[in-house]
Amino acid sequence: MFDDILINFGLNVSEYHIRPFGSGLINYTYKISGANHSYILQQINVAVFKRPDHIDSNLVLIKEYFDKHNPGYLFVAPLKNQKGKSIIQAADGKFYRLFPFIEGSHTVNFLQDTKEAYSAAVQFGRFTRLLNHFDISKLEYTLTDFHNLKLRVAQFEQALKTAEPRKLEQAAKEVKAADDHINILHTYNLFTTNNEIPLRVIHHDTKINNVLFDKDQNALCIVDLDTVMPGYYLSDVGDMMRTYLSPANEEEKDLDKIIIRTDFFRAIYKGYMSEMSNILTETEKQYFTFSGKLMIYMQGLRFLTDFLNNDIYYGTQYEGHNLIRAKNQFKLLEGYINAEPVFAEIIAGVDKELLTTANGI
Ligand code: GN1
Ligand code: MG
Backbone Cα Rg of the chain: 21
CB 78 within 8 A of CB 224: no
Task: Please tell me if the CB atom of residue 22 comes closer than 6 angstroms to any atom of ligand 1.
Answer: no
Q: With bands split at pLDDT 50, 70 and 90, how would you rate the model's confidence at 28?
A: confident
Task: Give the Cα separation of 318 and 297 in Å (integer).
Answer: 23
Question: 175-191, pLDDT tens digit by residue?
Answer: 999 999 999 999 999 99
Res 356: pLDDT: 78
Question: 61-76, pLDDT tens digit by residue?
Answer: 999 999 999 999 999 9
- Which domains can be identified in the chain, with CATH numbers? 3-100 (3.30.200.20), 114-358 (3.90.1200.10)
pTM: 0.93
Task: Give the Cα separation of 279 and 134 in Å (integer).
Answer: 14
pLDDT, greater one: 335 or 1: 335
Q: With bands split at pLDDT 50, 70 and 90, how would you rate the model's confidence at 343?
A: very high
Task: Please tell me if the CB atom of residue 227 comes closer than 6 angstroms to any atom of ligand 1.
Answer: yes
Task: Compute, in degrees rounded to 10, the torsion defined by CA atoms 337, 338, 344, 346.
Answer: -120
Q: Whose CA is nearest to atom 9 of ligand 1?
A: 25
Res 326: pLDDT: 98
Q: Whose CA is nearest to atom 14 of ligand 1?
A: 205
Q: Whose CA is nearest to atom 5 of ligand 1?
A: 24
Report which residue type is found at 55: I
How many whole angstroms from 78 Cα to the centroid of ligand 1?
19
Task: Please tell me if the CB atom of residue 299 comes closer than 6 angstroms to any atom of ligand 1.
Answer: yes
Which is the closest atom of ligand 1 to the Cα of 209?
Answer: 5
How many whole angstroms from 297 Cα to the centroid of ligand 2?
20
Q: What is the mean pLDDT of residues 333-361?
A: 90
Residue 3: pLDDT over 90: no
Question: 282-302, pLDDT tens digit by residue?
Answer: 999 999 999 999 999 999 999
Res 22: pLDDT: 77
Which residues, 6+ apart, have CB-to-CB distance to 282 below 8 Å? 196
Question: 136-149, pLDDT tens digit by residue?
Answer: 999 999 999 999 99
Element (H, E) at 18: strand 16-20
Res 361: pLDDT: 59
Task: Please tell me if the CB atom of residue 249 comes closer than 6 angstroms to any atom of ligand 1.
Answer: no
Percent of the chain residues past pLDDT 90, beyond the cut: 85
Res 360: pLDDT: 66
Query: Who surrounds ion ligand 2 at CB < 5 A?
Result: 24, 210, 224
Report which residue type is found at 231: G
Question: 256-283, pLDDT tens digit by residue?
Answer: 999 999 999 999 999 999 999 999 999 9
Strand partners, 92: none
Computed over every residue of the chain, the mean pLDDT equals 94
Q: What is the mean pLDDT of residues 3-10?
A: 89
Task: Please tell me if the CB atom of residue 48 comes closer than 6 angstroms to any atom of ligand 1.
Answer: yes
Residue 111: pLDDT over 80: yes
Residue 337: pLDDT over 90: yes
Task: Give the Cα separation of 63 and 339 in Å (integer).
Answer: 39
Question: 77-109, pLDDT tens digit by residue?
Answer: 999 998 999 999 988 889 999 999 999 999 998
Task: Please tell me if the CB atom of residue 26 comes closer than 6 angstroms to any atom of ligand 1.
Answer: yes
Which residues, 6+ apart, have CB-to-CB distance to 346 below 8 Å? 262, 265, 266, 269
